Structure 1
């Protein structure tokens, strides 16, 4: 069994060829797609976060809205760039969104991805401490966030409060029980996956990875997942962690699919991202039976319990619902996921 969700990058452009021509289009259509995905039997609605770009940026209003409009589907991010975040304010937002959804928040966080502007986090008021890199700063923010969402008191109450306080040190409110176990770290390397395991976070492995061995993407990603699980066991955590991989998967079921994605076989790509040699995973597009056979040979999918389907949101809600339906109803049973 695999949990199946979609991952939207939330692009918009004023182009007449785009189904999402404004930020309002993307936000409202994201809610509609989550509702449609839940009705189809999908398990998750996840959203990328990018600052200074025509993409989804502030996730918590969207997550709260999706949580209010749905009943069962998990809601999450993939990922929030912790270099930009005030961990305590984020803890309040996350607690509220989780309570609105009834405990369905699956929050993906990370050091972040390449930026649209130079040192964008400085514009948000953050800077690394002496001797610290921006990646170190992101991990430090993450550690503070993880600590305060545990619900333990840490702040000294005022002797003259506006409202009566409970006894003892005060915690961040609203507190949502269980949220700490539903935090994921987006990792592009084996070392950060091991760090995430030691910190007790679930693992999100994306459509790219540091090219550490020269092997195919899915093989390297499977090795990363196994290293993560070994580190989790060594850390002595008692619960079973979750692991997700993201894939671009398009069942070819009609002429419309063929026009968009029937261009032939795709393959891994090598590139440089943030001065790191990276391997980018291929897209999968074929008729459902052949697609299922290809997916069964993907070692990382075999290792993961959750598959996030990247969706071309600019093609609109109806088409993306069609794509998700093809995977949930046609491909997943053939691939052994359902």
Structure 2
């Protein structure tokens, strides 16, 4: 059994070919797709976060709205760039969204991805400390966020407050019990996966990874996941961790599928640079008739290692088509692979 959700990059474009032509379109359609996915029996609705782009950005209003419209599905991010975040304010936003959803938040955070602008986090008022890289700053913000989520008091109360205080040092409110265990780290390398395990975070591994061996993505990811789990056990955490991988999977079951993905031309991994220093391996697109697709996916070692699969969906094709893709995976692929009864 595997949890299966969707991951939306949240693109919008004024192009007449796009079903999401404005920020309003993508926000409202994201809520509608989460509702549709829950009705289909999917397990998760996850959203990317990018700044200075025609994509989803500030995640917490959207997560809270999805939480208010749904009752069962997990709601998450993949990922929030912690270089841009004030961990204190983020704890309040995350606590509120988690309480609205009834404890269904699954927050993916990370040091971030290539940006639309140069050092965009500086515009948000952040800069690395002396001798610190921006990636290290993102991890520092992440560690502060994790510590604050524990809900321990740390702030000295005013002796003459406007409202009565509970005894002792004060914590940030609202506090949501259990959210600390539902934080995931988006790791592009083996080393950051181990770092996340040591700090008790779940692991998100995307459709790309730092190329550390020259092997296909799924083999490198599977090794990354095993290293993460080894580090988790060595750290002595008391719960079992969760691991997700993202994949582009399109069962071809009708003519629209064939028109969109029948000749995707992306049936193998590719290599590229995500910044000046980092060579990455980018995962292939899986697009075929269900019997062929099942055999292809059976060979994906990283999917086999993970407990959660996030389907990247073409959100600009609209809610109805994206829901169709999710349903096709749940109906025509997942049972044959033992992911669903």
Change (3 A) 1:131 1:265: closer
CA distances 1:239-288 after superposition (whole Å, capped 9, x unpaired):
00000000000000001000000005610000011220100000100111
By how many angstroms is 1:289 displaced?
1.6
The 4+ residue runs of structure 1 with deviation greater than 2 A are: none
- Structure 1: gaps of 5 or more residues: none
| SS state at 1:290 partner | helix
Q: Does 1:107 align with 2:115?
A: no
| SS state at 1:145 partner | helix
CA distances 1:131-166 after superposition (whole Å, capped 9, x unpaired):
100000000000000000111101010111110000
Give the alignment of 1:197-276 within 5 angstroms: 197-263=197-263, 266-274=267-275, 275-276=277-278
Distance 1:170 1:265 in 2: 53
- Structure 2: gaps of 5 or more residues: none
Distance 2:114 2:280 in 1: 13
CA distances 1:200-238 after superposition (whole Å, capped 9, x unpaired):
000000000011001111000000000000000000001
Total equivalences in the alignment: 338
| SS state at 2:245 partner | strand
By how many angstroms is 1:124 displaced?
0.1
Counterpart residue number, 1:310: 312
TM-score normalized with structure 2 length: 0.98
Distance 1:83 1:321 in 2: 33
Distance 1:201 1:270 in 2: 28
Counterpart residue number, 1:8: 8
Distance 2:280 2:238 in 1: 33
Counterpart residue number, 2:179: 179
Counterpart residue number, 1:294: 296
CA distances 1:303-330 after superposition (whole Å, capped 9, x unpaired):
0000000000000000001000000111
| SS state at 1:107 partner | strand
Counterpart residue number, 2:285: 283
